Structure 1
């Protein structure tokens, strides 16, 4: 159901990481029928207060209009977005784009959920460099080009890179 809407939004890129679609990133959650019968496109921000959400809503509306479709865009905060919603394709595209994909989170394939209460606990985990693949890397700043990323540097190839923080 609603395949025409899914098709219209299939290649809609994330405004901050244009190499990845909103669907691959897991921001585009579902297309459903609202209680009044109107189709609804449900989006969830990567974190509360994400400044790109206004642009994402506008882009979704524009893609629907360009396809001659009508739907309401609904921002849904619960359940909170998690990097587990990212597709494997998105993770590979992040790496190819020069951003290290998130290294941990819940293991949805085994059915077990791992809950971490502190980002500090993750600081010792190896983050592979998206340029050369080395795990000889270091965090240079917990703040990256966007709030959902931190800055790292590879100690082998010396290239700086963003790391998409796991949530």
Structure 2
């Protein structure tokens, strides 16, 4: 049995909220903000997807997972559109996803300030590396970056100097 192609877009958004990010399964693709729009073009459901960055290796898997979820719900005419403009930003990550990342042991993107009061994005753009990234395990601000790249390209490897645990930081983009 197929869902009518007039299924309300609010329902489609709810279905898409069930699609986990393949690299960080505790957050959904909607919580990460990579689903930008859901609308109908005639009898075709069009889902606009903005990858976290254009070279993200998980993009094809995410597309497949979205299509699988919508077909599982009975949607037959589905088209995914890659939307690269505006580019994805960590500003689109929901507060709920930030908390889930932290609970999972990944420091969420910093929206606050670097040690010198400079915004995280401004610090990154200016080449400054003095961000204060609290440890997601113990909350300590006594941390250091180990490597610009962590378990995936969108994360950096950090270490807590207090609890001595390594952790990933979801880089601010």
In 2, distance between residues paired with 1:115 and 1:102? 10
Moved over 6 A (4+): none
CA shift, 1:120, in A, is 2.6
| Separation in 1, partners of 2:22, 2:170 | 15
Give the match for residue 40 of structure 1: 46
Mapped pair 1:27 → 2:34: yes
Q: Report the alpha carbon displacement of residue 8 of structure 1 after superposing the two structures with TM.
A: 1.9
TM-score by length of 2: 0.85
Structure 2 unaligned regions, length at least 5: 1-7, 113-118
- Residue of structure 2 in register with 1:11 after alignment: 18
Q: How far apart, in 2, do the equivalents of 1:6 and 1:119 lie?
A: 37
SS in 2 for 1:33: strand
Q: Distance in 1 between matches of 2:99 and 2:11?
A: 27
Alpha-carbon shift at residue 118 of structure 1 (Å): 2.1
RMSD: 2.0
Partners of 2:100 and 2:143 lie apart in 1 by: 20
TM-score, length-scaled by structure 1? 0.88
User: 1:130 maps to which residue?
Assistant: 136
What 5-or-longer segments of structure 1 have no aligned partner? 106-112
Partner of residue 59, structure 1: 65
Paired residues in the alignment total 159
Q: Which has the larger radius of gyration?
A: 2
How far did residue 37 of structure 1 move? 4.7
